[in-house]
Amino acid sequence: MEKKARKVYVIGHKNPDTDSICSAIAYANLKREMTGREYTAKRAGQINEETQYVLHKFHVDAPRLLTNVKLQVKDMDIHKIKGVEPGVSIKETWELMKKQSVKTIPVIKEGELVGLISTGDIAKSYMDVYDSTILAKARTQYKNIIQTLDGELITGNEHGYFVKGKVAVGASSTDMMEEFIQKDDLVILGNRYESQACAVEIDASCLVVCQDAEISEELIRKAEEQSIVIIRTPHDTFTAARLINQSIPVKYFMSKGPLTVFRMDDYVDDIKEQMTKKKFRDFPILDRHGNFKGFISRRRFMDVSKKQVILVDHNERSQAVDGIEEAEIQEIIDHHRLGNIETMGPVFFRNQPVGCTATIVGQMYEENGVELTPVMAGLLASAIISDTLLFRSPTCTMVDQNMAEKLAKIAGIDLEEMAAEMFHAGSSLKGKSPQEICFQDFKQFNVNDKVFGVGQINSMNKEELKEIREKLLKYLEEARKEQKLHMVYFMLTDILDESTELLCCGPGARDPIIEAFERPEDEDPIILKGVVSRKKQLIPALAGALQQ
């Protein structure tokens, strides 16, 4: 059995920002360089325009979407075995089963599973079949008969089919043969010329001449004229008669269905019940195109390995990809507060009080002596620009700034220019609906049974922020009701001015803000000077006011 290589997914949070995506890509690359194993960056949600701009600039493909990490059939060890085509003989199929040490084999036509043949089905072909016309009913090809009997074709078309008549042994006198042998029968014969000539005279479909007996040129010529197939075999009459049913094609005895099959993308939880109800040892697996991929057995079902993941830029279950409780978390690389993700065993957990996960990833490249390419350096530098608002966020540290400057030098970019381009791409309204703007960077929180959401747009352009404000004012109430939230807040953050205009929506939404930031009750719009960070400035203050 071919053991499935363990793949490790490196993935950020559900509402991926530039740090979440770029850190996943760079850390997956670091792990590949260090271990030679397969580490793949994934994303748990839609990529925003800022991140798309960064990826495009450095010619990097976006990680593929991974909606959940629940166990799937494709995570199991699938027993890949060679199947047979419907026309293959029982004998050839049995030999292949012995060679592969399997008790069930798939019958495949052009990649598609059309049936299953088991040792039980083959036993039935020997023990339960007494019908002398079964070869004809099964439309047995002459080449199957030749192969099964280790024979050679003397005359006739080996690609033809035996479709009419019975199988008979011509060991009697010619008088008796004329009584029980009819036109179109298949006759197993010895070396007696009279018997061979009698079978030709009756116009049998096929003559099987045993023990490599001689056949006269005259009989061969007559047989050719009458389109009679002649096969010569080294076996004696008894052995030939015993073996010939093994030439029947497997399609005649195979189980045709309805077959219990599973797909590669099926979730293990969804198929558990079906597997316990059925008594089969093995279950066929198909890909999304319906092609056969292999078998899974009950034993392999019990030994299924969980998906292996590394989390970057988060450590809270609410932000993690769906099904995280079913995955095997190997590492967590983060810069946020400690959350509530639980692991089955000890994991490598690196959490530092810096402004960006990319800063930590950059440090890990240095610590492990892995060279940063201009592309990887560019991605990490862009992530630091994004998360620290080009060092203006209170979450930013000198560690972040020093790392960004080193990375920018390797990548050959100017940090100020890159920031302007990124933030412009991220705040661009081109082709966006109010809903898309609202939810492109939106997170939910729960404090004292109050569920609220906070969105944010960062821009270096005041006119752009003004346009966004006009689009959102009418939409926020609709968003609040759709998401079933008590309150919705939206931060319009001016990076150059280092301030935020805060839009408030919902009953009593203004009150905790007015209290937390000591603003005048009638202030409209609410301008929060020096507030640019949702995580470090707005949420702690808002949570404190709500708790009071």
Following DSSP, what letter does each residue of 274-317 receive, concatenated? HHHH---SEEEEE-TTSBEEEEEEHHHHHTPPPPEEEEES---G
Euclidean distance between CA atoms 411 and 345, whole angstroms: 38
What's the pLDDT score for residue 300?
Answer: 66
pLDDT digits (tens, 9 = 90+) for 232-247: 999 999 999 989 989 9
Give the pLDDT of residue 118: 86
Q: pLDDT value at position 52?
A: 95
For residue 178, the model assigns a pLDDT of: 87
Residue 5 has pLDDT above 60, yes or no: no
Q: Residue 485: its pLDDT value, please? A: 95
The domains located in the chain, with CATH, are 8-71+307-424 (3.90.1640.10), 90-252 (3.40.1390.20), 434-547 (3.10.310.20)
Residue scoring higher pLDDT (174 or 412): 412
Question: Is residue 116 predicted with pLDDT exceeding 80?
Answer: yes
What counts of helices (H) and strands (E) characterise the chain? 21, 23
Answer whether 307's CB lies under 8 Å from 6's CB: no
Beta partners for 208? 188, 231
Average pLDDT over residues 31-50: 94
Question: Torsion over CA of 84, 86, 91 and 97, rounded to 10 degrees?
Answer: 30
Q: Is the pLDDT of residue 129 over 70?
A: no
464: number of Cβ within 10 Å: 18
Strands (E), 198-353: 206-209, 229-232, 262-263, 282-286, 292-297, 308-312, 328-334, 348-351
Contact residues for 204 (Cβ-Cβ < 8 A; gap 6+): 165, 181, 183, 184, 185, 186, 187, 228
Q: Taking 80 as the threshold, does the pLDDT of residue 428 lie above it? A: no
Q: Residue 2 — pLDDT band, cuts 50, 70, 90?
A: very low
Distance CA 428, CA 288 (A): 38
Residue 3 pLDDT exceeds 60? no
Query: What confidence category does residue 186 fall into, taking pLDDT thresholds of 50, 70 and 90?
Result: very high
pLDDT at 301: 65
The pLDDT score that the predictor gives to residue 23 is 98
More confident residue, 297 or 424: 424
Across all residues in the chain, what is the average pLDDT? 90
CA distance 511 to 327: 42
Res. 31: pLDDT tops 70 = yes
The band of 323, judged by pLDDT with boundaries at 50, 70 and 90, is confident
Mind listing the pLDDT tens digit for each residue in 6-18? 789 999 998 899 9
- 3-class secondary structure, 463: helix
Q: Please check the confidence at residue 231 and state whether its pLDDT lies above 80.
A: yes
Selection from 252, 49, 260, 46 nearest residue 140 by Cα: 252
Query: 359-369: per-residue pLDDT in tens?
Result: 999 999 999 99
Mean pLDDT is highest, among 290-299, 301-310, 440-449, 466-475, for: 466-475
Average pLDDT over residues 202-224: 94
